[in-house]
């Protein structure tokens, strides 16, 4: 027994000494033109990571964002790239499962300079410590201001809390609610809902609104009972931080019960598929606040992106993810150019370039962005839109980009 054991151990040691995985770590240094590089950058390529949900519950939006990212990469490379390098996307699918993302991350992370897309708040939560310790700048497809305690998180657009504040000021301005009214906020428990609720609580406190908080889970799909209860309480408006299916249920109940109050939703509450659902006729009181434009927005840049999308013959119908994905990548382009000007394409260099970005222009695909204030949302501007079956993306503006005075004063949870 002992001899066998020592033989095996000796054999293992010999093998071990021959070839372990030692020495396959990334190289760092400067190239001929004096540009510093470390991970994810070679002599002629910059690799950006995409951790998307191509098969799970958010696949429609995620596929749109991924195609938008790719359209931008094509344009950016055609225009010559940056620092003599072309951009390449490395895409993986986690199917909206945090455990999958957690194993895929160490496979992908050493190959990329940064993440241009990471879908989903559960995934962002699971990867939070990794992103910090690997110092890898990441754009989440999730808009919670709670994420901003991590300097490496770059949110493109505004956050759910600010959306709510801006949206409530819009309802106020239009005379649909007034100080002291009772309003209800139906929200999904979790990062998404809690962040939206934070905004409505702030606004309610400032304006003496009587806020009814209704906590639900993302799998509750019939909200008729809740709306019936709210009718009894005489609410003047319903606020939603929910899934599109839940939005449909609330809108339908709102109409069927004769309550007919305005319904205000965060940007993920609306999906064009609602227009083909039984709730389609009940959507006329729904107002959606968002900071990135719908796919068919009447903006030259959005039309250009949509044209390129159609020319690229992607099999999926376009959705709001496409212009958003393009815009996010455009911001990355701005940051990469700045990092290139600083002659520093390392991960540290990207963070520095991001913090120097006080005006990222996306051709109005997203409101102008300012990343120089740690912990603060990069913009507080939103537009208000209503569902409209006759437009291509199923939604039309009722108020262009604006920033409410209350949103300006609001202090985000991790704002310094």
Partner 1 sequence: MRATVAGATANAPAKPLRWLRWSAWLVLLVVLLALPLYVGSEWLKAGQWMMTGAVGAIGLTMLVGQAGQLSLAHAFFLLAGGTTYTVLASGTEDGRVVGFGVDPLLALLAAVAVTALLGLAFAPVSGRLRGIYLGVASLSLVFIGLYFGQSADRLTGGTSTGRTPAPFALFGFTFDNSGSLVVLGVPLRQAERLWYLYLALTVIAFVLARGAVRSRVGRSWRAVRDHEASAAAMGVNVAWAKAGAFAVSSAYAGLAGVMTVLWFDILKPDENEFGTYGINVSIAYLAMVIIGGLGSIGGALVGALIVFGLPQVLSLYSNQLGIFTGSGAGAVTPILVSTFVYGAAIILVVLFEPGGLAAIGRRITGGLHAQRKKEGTSR
Interface residues toward partner 1, by CB under 8 A:
1, 4-5, 8-9, 12, 15-17, 19-23, 25, 54-56, 59, 63, 66, 92-95, 97-100, 102-108, 122, 125-126, 128-130, 133, 144, 146, 188-191, 194-195, 215, 217-219, 315-316
Q: In angstroms, rounded to a whole number, what is the distance separating the alpha carbons of residues 176 and 39?
A: 53
Q: Which is nearer to partner 1, 123 or 251 (CB)?
A: 123
Q: How far is the CB of 302 from partner 1 (least distance, A)?
A: 23
Q: In a 3-state reduction of DSSP, which class is residue 270?
A: coil
Q: What is the DSSP string of 17-81?
A: HH--STT-SPP-EE-TTS-EE-TTB-SSEEEEEEEE-SSSTTHHHHHHHHHHHHHHHHHHHHTT-
Cβ–Cβ contacts within 10 Å for residue 112, how many?
24
Q: How far is the CB of 60 from partner 1 (least distance, A)?
A: 9
Q: In angstroms, rounded to a whole number, what is the distance separating the alpha carbons of residues 28 and 118?
A: 25
Cβ–Cβ under 8 Å, residues 67 and 325? yes
**DSSP single-letter state for residue 318:** P
Q: How far is the CB of 368 from partner 1 (least distance, A)?
A: 28
Cβ–Cβ under 8 Å, residues 93 and 134? no
Residue with tokens 């050493």: 110
What is the distance, to the nearest Å, from the Cα of residue 87 to the centroid of all Cα atoms in its chain?
21
What is the distance, to the nearest Å, from the Cα of residue 301 to the centroid of all Cα atoms in its chain?
20
Q: How far is the CB of 230 from partner 1 (least distance, A)?
A: 21
Q: Which is nearer to partner 1, 36 or 102 (CB)?
A: 102
The tokens for 281 are: 């006729």
Q: Which is nearer to partner 1, 20 or 33 (CB)?
A: 20
Q: Which is nearer to partner 1, 122 or 368 (CB)?
A: 122
Q: How far is the CB of 335 from partner 1 (least distance, A)?
A: 26
Q: Which is nearer to partner 1, 98 or 280 (CB)?
A: 98
Q: In angstroms, rounded to a whole number, what is the distance separating the alpha carbons of residues 133 and 118?
A: 17
Q: Which is nearer to partner 1, 130 or 210 (CB)?
A: 130
Q: How far is the CB of 15 from partner 1 (least distance, A)?
A: 8
Side-chain half-sphere exposure of 215, counting CA atoms within 13 A: 5
The tokens for 371 are: 């990343």
Q: In a 3-state reduction of DSSP, which class is residue 339?
A: helix
Q: Which is nearer to partner 1, 161 or 388 (CB)?
A: 161
Q: Which is nearer to partner 1, 197 or 237 (CB)?
A: 197
Residues in the chain: 416
Q: Which is nearer to partner 1, 85 or 94 (CB)?
A: 94
Q: In angstroms, rounded to a whole number, what is the distance separating the alpha carbons of residues 416 and 216?
A: 32
Q: Which is nearer to partner 1, 189 or 341 (CB)?
A: 189
Q: How far is the CB of 348 from partner 1 (least distance, A)?
A: 17
Q: How far is the CB of 383 from partner 1 (least distance, A)?
A: 26
Listed residue (165, 191, 135) closest to 355, CA to CA: 135
Q: How far is the CB of 77 from partner 1 (least distance, A)?
A: 21
Q: In angstroms, rounded to a whole number, what is the distance separating the alpha carbons of residues 212 and 194?
A: 14
Q: In angstroms, rounded to a whole number, what is the distance separating the alpha carbons of residues 92 and 89?
A: 10
Q: In angstroms, rounded to a whole number, what is the distance separating the alpha carbons of residues 131 and 149?
A: 12
**DSSP single-letter state for residue 283:** G
Q: How far is the CB of 330 from partner 1 (least distance, A)?
A: 22
């Amino acid at each position: 027994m002992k001899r066998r054991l020592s033989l095996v151990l000796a054999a293992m040691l010999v093998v071990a000494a021959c070839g372990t995985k030692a020495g396959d770590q990334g190289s760092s240094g400067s190239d001929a033109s004096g540009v510093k590089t470390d991970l994810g950058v070679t002599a002629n390529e910059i690799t950006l990571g995409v951790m998307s949900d191509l098969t799970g519950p958010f696949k429609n939006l995620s596929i749109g964002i991924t195609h938008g990212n790719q359209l931008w990469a094509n344009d950016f490379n055609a225009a010559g790239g940056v620092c003599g390098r072309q951009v390449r996307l490395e895409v993986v699918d986690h199917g909206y499962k945090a455990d999958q993302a957690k194993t895929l991350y160490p496979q992908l992370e050493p190959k990329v300079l940064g993440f241009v897309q990471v879908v989903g708040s559960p995934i962002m939560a699971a990867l939070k410590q990794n992103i910090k310790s690997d110092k890898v700048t990441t754009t989440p497809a999730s808009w919670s201001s709670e994420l901003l305690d991590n300097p490496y998180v770059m949110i493109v657009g505004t956050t759910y809390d600010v959306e709510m504040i801006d949206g409530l000021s819009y309802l106020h301005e239009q005379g649909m609610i007034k100080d002291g009214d009772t309003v209800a906020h139906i929200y999904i428990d979790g990062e998404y809902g809690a962040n939206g609720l934070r905004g409505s609580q702030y606004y309610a406190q400032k304006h003496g609104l009587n806020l009814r908080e209704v906590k639900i889970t993302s799998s509750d799909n019939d909200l008729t009972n809740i709306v019936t209860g709210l009718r009894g309480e005489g609410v003047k408006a319903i606020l939603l931080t929910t899934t599109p299916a839940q939005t449909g249920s609330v809108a339908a109940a709102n109409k069927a019960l004769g309550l007919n109050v305005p319904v205000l939703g965060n940007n993920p509450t609306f999906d064009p598929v609602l227009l083909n659902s039984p709730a389609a006729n009940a959507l006329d009181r729904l107002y959606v606040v968002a900071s990135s434009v719908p796919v068919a927005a009447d903006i030259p840049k959005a039309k250009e992106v949509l044209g390129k999308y159609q020319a690229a013959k992607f099999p999926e119908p376009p959705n709001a993810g496409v212009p958003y994905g393009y815009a996010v990548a455009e911001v990355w382009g701005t940051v990469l150019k700045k990092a290139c000007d600083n002659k520093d394409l390392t991960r540290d260099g990207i963070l520095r370039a991001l913090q120097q970005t006080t005006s990222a222009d996306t051709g109005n695909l997203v409101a102008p962005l300012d990343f120089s204030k740690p912990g603060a949302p990069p913009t507080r501007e939103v537009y208000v839109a209503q569902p409209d079956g006759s437009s291509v993306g199923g939604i039309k503006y009722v108020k262009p980009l604006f920033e409410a005075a209350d949103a300006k004063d609001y202090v985000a949870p991790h704002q310094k």
